[in-house]
Amino acid sequence: MPRPDDLHITPRKPEFELLKSMQKQRYWLANDPVLTHFFNALQATFPEGERFFIDSAREVRDSLGEENLPEHLADDIKAFIHQEAWHGKAHDEWNQVLIDLGYTRMEEFDAQQKRLRRWANENISPMMRLAVTAGAEHMTASLARMMLEKRRDLIDEAAEPVRSLLAWHALEEIEHKSVCFDLYQAAGGGYRQRVLGLVFAFLDTLRLARSRHKYLLQQDGLWNWRTRVQAYRKVWGPRGIVGQMIPELLRYLKPGFHPWQTDERAAFEARWQTLISDLSNKAA
């Protein structure tokens, strides 16, 4: 499946001032602690995850040699690295805001994930790590697509500047969704390892997000049977956020799958054009 000719992977580098708005509205997503803390928890896995993606893409690219890559891929990898590095920075700042708001264990979770990344870099082959990365990239693109097609409220009902941050990150995940997949294919990666990569990325991300989600709710004195049922219904269950991503995730299992069999860019931009075209003005 060809990469679209008009694809521009654009590193935008916006700045967001999250502390004040989160101090003002702690439950920034529709005043809902369960949903808000799910996104707080999920995004907290991003900085280390994104560094893991960058490490694995760089390593495989360098071992292949840029001159041996298909057309556009070397430039796309550079743009992907710039985008992910800036995502990592924005989500590091978000984590710091959570720590400043009193969720001090977020620092410990992050340190654990750093150790895990170092361990993985030393003990897991670059191709397996790239398979996990390609799987994780399919997850982030699936999340973006699900928010666009099924749950627009997850962006529309977020308070600024988180709303702009989410729209920006989701659009860039769509733009670079095939980069690691294409690199994996160019490096001769096979079907079974690719699928294993998605399964691992899915289970590991959910494990990391779930422990943080529980902690954040516990910190607010909200970890009780009622919020646990809500968490299942709104997030983890078949009709929850994760459940609603499943059909899209399953497309990855098709042997002939390619990320650009669907193109969400135009619909995404049409929906959230104002948020993503003027990011610099949203900074303050």
Given the rule CB under 5 A, which residues bind Fe ion? Answer: 84, 87, 137, 140, 173
Shortest CB 169 distance to Fe ion, Å: 6
Find out whether 30 and 23 touch, Cβ atoms under 8 Å. no
Q: What is the DSSP letter of 224?
A: S
In the complex, which residue's CB is closest to Fe ion? 87
Residue 184: other Cβ atoms inside 10 A:
24
Tell how far CA 100 is from the center of its chain.
Answer: 23
Peptide bond into 255 cis (omega under 30): no
Task: Compare residues 11 and 243 and give the one whose CB is closer to Fe ion.
Answer: 11
Shortest CB 121 distance to Fe ion, Å: 18
Q: What is the dihedral of CA 169, 71, 186, 182, to 10 degrees?
A: 20
Shortest CB 227 distance to Fe ion, Å: 28
Residue 34 phi/psi, 5-degree rounding, is: -65, -50
Rounded to whole angstroms, the Cα distance separating 46 from 44 reads 5
Shortest CB 45 distance to Fe ion, Å: 11
Task: Compare residues 179 and 242 and give the one whose CB is closer to Fe ion.
Answer: 179
Shortest CB 237 distance to Fe ion, Å: 26
Find out whether 21 and 162 touch, Cβ atoms under 8 Å. yes
Residue 158 phi/psi, 5-degree rounding, is: -80, 145
The residues near 149 (Cβ < 8 Å, ≥ 6 apart) are 267
Shortest CB 87 distance to Fe ion, Å: 4
**Range list of H helices, the chain:** 18-24, 33-44, 46-64, 73-100, 105-123, 126-149, 153-156, 162-175, 179-186, 191-219, 225-231, 241-250, 265-277
Task: Compare residues 84 and 227 and give the one whose CB is closer to Fe ion.
Answer: 84
Shortest CB 84 distance to Fe ion, Å: 5
The residues near 232 (Cβ < 8 Å, ≥ 6 apart) are 240
Shortest CB 91 distance to Fe ion, Å: 8
Rounded to whole angstroms, the Cα distance separating 179 from 186 reads 10
Q: Which two tokens stand for residue 66?
A: 């840029």
